[in-house]
Structure 1
Amino acid sequence: MIAFINVAGCMDRIGTTTQAVQLTRFIKSMDYDVAYMEMNDKNYIKNTNNVYSDYEEKDTGIISVQGIDVIPRHKYIDIKKGGSNLDFLIIDHGCVNDKRFDRKEFLHGGIPILVGGIKANELSETENALRDNEMQKAFFVFSFVEEGDNEELLLNMGRKKDETFFSPYFPDPFVQMNESKEDYFQQVMSAVMLRVERG
């Protein structure tokens, strides 16, 4: 049975797409059938067709970029009804403040992962999301945080500290991983899989 992992950012340009694409790449490296879906209006994937040489639009509507299968959003309902042999679908919901952000689907349509930060321009949006009681069910990823700040941030996360992760720096959503990045995603997926198994 397919597991849905929903990724959203507390604000724009916080690394949401990078997290979703890299998570897809990591799960694929574990020999699962996995694909990425862009459930927002950014059209990031379509705009990469002139950037990556390994970009292919298939007759099925699926786009392959750097070995990652990208399924068009109009196929979402069919997949939800069981029309897929995938093990995982990683869904990029964009920013929680977007007009078309589907809060219900993000929180209740799979395992939610929320991406935030602590820079001056990120902090208020991150704090707003953390104060939202419903968002407490999401795993939390901090992007662009100095390693020395991790311990203090974990203390401030209270009961969410075991569901909080710190992303290494990714200069490009499709860049190959090194060992530290694999370790990070292994931690995230271990927590996600526990929740998947609990149903």
Structure 2
Amino acid sequence: MIFAGNQERGYFSEEFAGKNGLDFAYVGTYPHIADQTNDILRHGKQDYTIFDVDTYIDDADEIADQIIRICRANNSKAIVYAPGYMLESAMIMALYDKGITYFITAQTLSSMKDQLEKCINGYYDANGIEEFKVIQREKNLEEEKKNLNIKLIGVAGACNRIGTTTHAMQIIRYLQLKGYKACYIQMNSTKYVSNMLEWFNVESQDEEIGRITYSGIDHFYNVNKIQDVLRLGYDYYVYDYGVNCDVNFNRVSFMEKDIKIFVVGADPTEIPYTYEIVKSAFYDDVKYIFNFAAKTDADDLKELMGDKYGSSFIAEFIPDKYVYVPTEIYEKIIPVTDLSVEQNKTKKRKGFFGKKRK
């Protein structure tokens, strides 16, 4: 086993190799992976070569191509060491798309060793990495969406108990009121739908596709069935992504939605989380709904939001998430033609011309 990087970062793999009777060596760091190639190959045939991708300044495709060349040459399996990287990052996805499937992204010693062991004992070969399966499903959804006349709305919160699910349900109520079919999709780890199923009297349930219906709203909770859900004929799909500060928050999937909404706050316990989102260059083309904020705070919020103030709105008080509170906010964020008016006109016309003659 070779660790292409320094000892300070690779010590966990050295310990693992020692405990498992594997020969081990370090290869010094280089800013360009091509310059490291000969040093790695001087060690001859290897079972595994671990690459610390943080040491390179090359772009992701160049790193991926060179890793493949090196591992072909020394007949080893490539393991990418990228602690703290999200699996949907450009670097990881470029490597994955080229056929590299062993990754160590953990940041604690025990988790690093666990991921390394799974790479070596064939766990990922047999089971894959669940996060990659989700990412692939998202790609498939985007392809399928191109052929369907639907809109996807992503709703996320700055922190816990900020009202993310409340506004997701209010958006669905708004769309239903306008004459559209809309549903709720749980894309977080809160167990909101399963708790509802356990403690509330739901109107119906479909375990096959992962759906419950409560208060006239279809709630979907099985992410493995989303492609099937998209074929069910809803006009709008409202995704509840949970909160930005959750380690499992899928920001890439959130940003791929047609309409993206963050529910944020101005309370002293909420402002740090709100500011973290606002200052991030990653979140472009996003709308912000301030929950539990007073309209008299508008001037202070303008200072906080800066150039994103024009995309910010202060919500009305919502005592019950399933009871719609009339507001202009959703009309500004999601402007739609009021189909209910058109439908009523059609019904009246049919009633007049369809009158039976005696």
* TM-score range normalised by the length of the shorter chain: 0.7 to 0.9
Partner of 1:187: 332
Q: Tell me how far apart the structure 2 counterparts of residues 188 and 142 of structure 1 sit (CA, whole Å).
A: 13
Q: Does 1:70 align with 2:219?
A: yes
Q: Does 1:177 align with 2:337?
A: no
Partner of 2:260: 112
User: Percent of counterpart pairs with the same letter?
Assistant: 27
Between 1 and 2, higher relative CO (CA 8 Å, sep ≥ 6) is seen in: 1
CA contact (8 A) 2:275 2:304 kept: no
SS in structure 2 of the partner of residue 118 of structure 1: coil
- How far did 1:54 drift? 5.0
The alignment yields a C-alpha RMSD, in angstroms, of 2.0
CA contact (8 A) 2:188 2:242 kept: yes
Amino acid at match of 1:30: K
Q: Tell me how far apart the structure 2 counterparts of residues 177 and 109 of structure 1 sit (CA, whole Å).
A: 24
Q: Tell me how far apart the structure 2 counterparts of residues 83 and 37 of structure 1 sit (CA, whole Å).
A: 14
- How far did 1:110 drift? 2.9
List per-residue Cα deviations over 1:48-97 (Å, max 9, x = no partner): 24665453213653211100111233222445xx6232211000000112
Amino acid at match of 1:63: I
Q: Tell me how far apart the structure 1 counterparts of residues 298 and 165 of structure 2 sit (CA, whole Å).
A: 22
Alpha-carbon spacing, 1:51–1:26, altered in 2? closer, same or farther (3 Å): farther
CA contact (8 A) 1:130 1:136 kept: no
SS in structure 2 of the partner of residue 37 of structure 1: strand
Alpha-carbon spacing, 1:122–1:156, altered in 2? closer, same or farther (3 Å): closer
1:14 pairs, out of 143, 153, 162, with 162
Report matched runs for 1:1-199 at 5 Å.
1-49=149-197, 52-58=200-206, 60-72=209-221, 73-79=223-229, 83-174=231-322, 176-178=323-325, 181-190=326-335
Q: Tell me how far apart the structure 2 counterparts of residues 165 and 75 of structure 1 sit (CA, whole Å).
A: 33
Instruction: Give me the TM-score of the superposition, normalised by structure 2.
Output: 0.48
Q: Tell me how far apart the structure 2 counterparts of residues 146 and 155 of structure 1 sit (CA, whole Å).
A: 15
Instruction: Give me the TM-score of the superposition, normalised by structure 1.
Output: 0.84
Alpha-carbon spacing, 1:9–1:102, altered in 2? closer, same or farther (3 Å): same
- How far did 1:118 drift? 0.9
Amino acid at match of 1:32: Y
Alpha-carbon spacing, 1:186–1:52, altered in 2? closer, same or farther (3 Å): farther
- How far did 1:114 drift? 0.8
- How far did 1:144 drift? 0.6
CA contact (8 A) 2:210 2:225 kept: no
List per-residue Cα deviations over 1:34-61 (Å, max 9, x = no partner): 1110100111122224665453213653
What are the ranges of 5 or more consecutive residues in structure 1 without an aligned counterpart? 194-199
List per-residue Cα deviations over 1:132-173 (Å, max 9, x = no partner): 011132111111101111243135423322211111111222
Amino acid at match of 1:17: T
Alpha-carbon spacing, 1:83–1:109, altered in 2? closer, same or farther (3 Å): same
Q: Tell me how far apart the structure 1 counterparts of residues 237 and 270 of structure 2 sit (CA, whole Å).
A: 28
SS in structure 1 of the partner of residue 328 of structure 2: helix
Amino acid at match of 2:175: I
SS in structure 1 of the partner of residue 283 of structure 2: helix
Partner of 1:197: none
- How far did 1:109 drift? 3.2
**Equivalenced residues, count:** 186
What are the ranges of 5 or more consecutive residues in structure 2 without an aligned counterpart? 1-148, 337-358
SS in structure 1 of the partner of residue 159 of structure 2: coil
- How far did 1:108 drift? 1.7
SS in structure 2 of the partner of residue 27 of structure 1: helix
Partner of 1:196: none
CA contact (8 A) 1:54 1:67 kept: no
Comparing 56-65 with 105-114, greater Cα deviation is found at 56-65
